């Protein structure tokens, strides 16, 4: 199957019950793809793909990619999205995070090699660490502390990029790397430790929003639908990457908190707490490569995406009340 057709073929999504993985599964099924979602449910949940369970083109399979990956039949595309991704998760699961980046990526690449499938690795802006170059182009090698608390995630992804590149060069696997910048939207876990779901949860509960440091550090946040479009555009190309996918609009963390308070109609105030070790000072993608090679640019404005996300969180909290 040619690159322009793989996202409508038979697709394996590792981490398919996670935040990003579930949105990918939804978009792929809507395109007519047959999707096999693999997940060990360590940080994902079947509830994220419950709306797909009645589709004959979707199958959810419990699988830990660090153990073994077996999918019978033809496969056109492997999207490797299995990994703890929030600081709270990978700080609690440091060894598993390293194993899924190393052993799990090797197993997923082996599946793509055996099936002759296109392969896309979900890498991260964390490979740039606390960047000394701003904004961050794909040519920047990063500023990562390998022995700091965040190093388990950063280095797991850097190794995953290296083994993906090696499989492309040695085994001629049609492999690509996407570097994902901060993403938000429905199905994020309210207590996963990332800023936006934490702020929304706190605001809806009427609690103070806990902003690290003085809140002047910046992030560039991309709505999940835009991210999914970019990932699938990369999958349908034969570009090897790495390609940055993220929204280049840069916001301070304090501004994000203030906007969440306004969007929720909360009366919550802001409380400042100590910044985590190795917390990046700035983060903004250079998206010229995605624009020029994939024709991709983000379309959902921050205010619109935030409103959609707040509405989902409010509904979710009401259902569980």
Report yes or no: 180 and 160 within 8 Å, Cβ to Cβ.
no
* Residue 140 annotated to the active site: no
Q: Which two tokens stand for residue 3?
A: 């690159």
**CA–CA gap between residue 156 and residue 146 (Å, rounded):** 10
SS3 assignment, position 177: strand
Pairing of strands 250-252, 218-220: antiparallel
Return the SS3 of 136.
strand
Beta bridge partners of 212: 273
Widest distance between CA atoms in the chain = 57
How far apart, in whole angstroms, are the C-alpha atoms of residue 272 and residue 39?
A: 36
**Residue ranges with strand state E in 93-174:** 118-124
Report helix, strand or coil for 307.
helix
Which of 90, 128, 153, 167 does the annotation list as catalytic? 153
Task: Please tell me the distance from the alpha carbon of residue 195 to that of residue 190, in angstroms, as a whole number.
Answer: 10
Give yes or no for a contact between 174 and 236, defined as CB atoms under 8 angstroms apart: no
- Cα separation values, 86 from 3, 62, 71, 179, 287, Å: 31, 21, 28, 15, 23
Catalytic center residues: 153
């Amino acid at each position: 199957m040619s690159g322009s057709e793989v996202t409508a073929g038979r697709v394996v999504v590792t981490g398919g019950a996670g935040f990003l993985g579930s949105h990918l599964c939804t978009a792929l099924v809507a395109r007519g793809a047959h999707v096999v979602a693999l997940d060990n449910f360590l940080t994902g949940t079947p509830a994220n793909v419950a709306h797909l369970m009645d589709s004959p083109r979707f199958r959810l399979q419990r699988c830990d990619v660090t153990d073994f990956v077996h999918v019978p039949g033809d496969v056109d595309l492997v999207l490797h999205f299995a990994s703890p991704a929030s600081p709270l998760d990978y700080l609690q699961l440091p060894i598993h995070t390293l194993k899924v980046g190393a052993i799990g990526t090797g197993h997923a690449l082996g599946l793509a090699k055996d099936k002759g499938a296109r392969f896309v690795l979900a890498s991260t802006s964390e490979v740039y660490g606390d960047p000394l170059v701003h904004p961050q182009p794909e040519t920047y090698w990063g500023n990562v502390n390998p022995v700091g608390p965040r190093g388990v995630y950063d280095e797991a992804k850097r190794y995953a990029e290296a083994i993906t590149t090696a499989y492309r060069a040695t085994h001629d696997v049609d492999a690509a790397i996407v570097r994902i910048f901060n993403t938000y939207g429905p199905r994020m876990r309210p207590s996963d430790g990332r800023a936006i779901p934490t702020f929304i949860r706190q605001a809806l509960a009427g609690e103070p929003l806990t902003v690290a440091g003085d809140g002047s550090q910046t992030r560039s946040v991309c709505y999940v639908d835009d991210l999914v479009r970019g990932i699938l555009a990369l999958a349908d190309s034969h570009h090897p990457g790495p390609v940055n996918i993220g929204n280049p609009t840069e916001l301070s963390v304090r501004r994000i908190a203030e906007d969440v308070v306004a969007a929720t109609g909360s009366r919550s105030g802001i409380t400042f707490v100590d910044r985590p070790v190795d917390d990046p000072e700035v983060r903004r993608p250079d998206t010229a490569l995605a624009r020029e090679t994939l024709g991709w640019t983000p379309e959902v404005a921050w205010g619109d995406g935030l409103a959609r996300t707040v509405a989902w969180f409010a509904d979710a909290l009401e259902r569980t009340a």
